[in-house]
Amino acid sequence: MALDLREQFPLAPLSTLGVGGPARYYARVTSEDAVREGVAWARARDLPLFVLGGGSNVVLSDEGHPGLVLHLATRGIASRPAGDAVELTAEAGEPWDDLVAGAVAQGWAGLECLSGIPGLVGATPIQNVGAYGQEVGETVSSVEALDLQTGRVERLTSAQCGFAYRDSRFKSADKGRFIVLRVTYVLRPGGPPAVRYAELARSLEERALGAPSLAQVRETVIGLRRRKSMVLDPDDPNARSVGSFFTNPIVPAAVADDLEAALRRDGVLGEGERPPRFPAGDGRVKLSAAWLIERSGLAKGYQRGKVGLSSRHTLAIVNRGGAAASDVVALAREVRARVQDRFGVTLVPEPVFVGVSMEL
């Protein structure tokens, strides 16, 4: 099959943030053979390769991409029983939320809290997609990926993926080495939904559902996300983003204690108020990046030229129309510097930067 190659192909419309220049070469690939063909084509010309999924977690440079952008569009879903569980395998180009909806409709537990997250299946292991108390790494049993170092397709077990909070070997140690072809998730037929996240539990209680079903948890999660502009909705101007721009900082508990003491001393905290913190294991705690940003003096809706913070969530940087990647990066730097100056905590960006950097 010949690759359908395009030249100077605009990438901004393929990214949810809507920024970025053109790809020198671009191909939408719908089969594993086409993926291999694309890789070989770029190799033969010594061109850099970038794999694009749904474009919902990338900041693409204004100069565009100098090599080949392979847009993964492989489709297909299969399931098989595995003891008491079900193994659900999806090709990388399957839309993520459709897969979640299908699993919930079948009564298969394990993905329900990950409802409403944009993007494609192949990207879910990259940053160990997570929300509302659930992470994809909990259910991924294997990832089949083309290893660009060896040219072989490898089946990586969950343990070999190195999943961590919004991270995996694919995003850090082995960035750019693998093209994820398909992912297998192990789900529990008839299993209960995961209701671990306080805000989700409260919302379900308000609805007085008793023991909520998977479908009710999915609905509730989507409702909560919608209120924060965290679902893709063309009518919602706050949704032109990559979702959360920064991860929640994980620090030793002693650092969080010192921070809280300093804020109390400075009279920053209200009566009985504590900065939000959640246990993160190994004596560490997770702080709320959104809280730190707000308390650094940047409010929801803060505007800087053509970009701003979402009017519903300080963690999302939004393209207000006609913005460039450089505008997004300038605001991200401002946010990071404010939080650093005020609290001594360095925020880490969540999206993948392509040809552009947060560093000066």
Ligand X SMILES: Cc1cc2nc3c(=O)[nH]c(=O)nc-3n(C[C@H](O)[C@H](O)[C@H](O)COP(=O)(O)OP(=O)(O)OC[C@H]3O[C@@H](n4cnc5c(N)ncnc54)[C@H](O)[C@@H]3O)c2cc1C
Q: Which stretch binds ligand X (CB under 6 A): 45-53, 82-90, 200-208, 281-289?
A: 45-53
Q: Which stretch binds ligand X (CB under 6 A): 39-47, 120-128, 199-207, 215-223?
A: 120-128
CB atoms within 10 A of CB 167: 18
**72 or 140: whose CB is closer to ligand X?**
72
Of 4, 68, 104, whose CA–CA distance to 354 is shortest?
68
Phi/psi for 87 (5° steps) reads -100, 120
**57 or 256: whose CB is closer to ligand X?**
57
Q: Find the catalytic residue in 142, 241, 244, 310.
A: 244
At 97 the three-state DSSP class reads helix
**239 or 251: whose CB is closer to ligand X?**
239
Q: Which of 64, 137, 243, 275 binds ligand X (CB under 6 A)?
A: 243
- Concatenated DSSP letters for 266-293? TT-SPTT----EEE-STTEEEE-HHHHH
Q: Which of 21, 22, 55, 275 binds ligand X (CB under 6 A)?
A: 55
Q: Which of 61, 89, 127, 310 binds ligand X (CB under 6 A)?
A: 127
94 is an active site residue? no
Of 67, 41, 52, whose CA–CA distance to 12 is shortest?
52
Residue 119 amino acid letter: G
Asked if residue 89 binds ligand X (CB under 6 A), the reply is: no
- Report how far Cα 37 is from the mean position of its chain's Cα atoms: 28
Interatomic CA distance for residues 138 and 143, integer angstroms: 13
Residues ≥6 apart with Cβ < 8 Å to 135: 128, 129, 163, 165
Interatomic CA distance for residues 167 and 99, integer angstroms: 21
**17 or 259: whose CB is closer to ligand X?**
17
Residues between 281 and 340 with contacts to ligand X, criterion CB under 6 A: none
Rounded to the nearest whole angstrom, what is the least distance from the CB of residue 124 to ligand X in the complex?
5
Residues between 183 and 242 with contacts to ligand X, criterion CB under 6 A: 230, 232, 239, 241-242
**85 or 146: whose CB is closer to ligand X?**
146
Q: Give buried/exposed letters for 109-146 (b at 16+ CB in 10 A, else e).
A: bbbbbbbbbbbbbbbbbbbbbbbbebbbbbbbbbbbbb
Asked if residue 131 binds ligand X (CB under 6 A), the reply is: yes
338 is an active site residue? no
342 is an active site residue? no
Residues that bind ligand X (CB under 6 A): 16, 50-58, 72, 92, 117-120, 122-124, 126-127, 129-131, 178-180, 230, 232, 239, 241-243, 352
Active site residues: 166, 244, 350
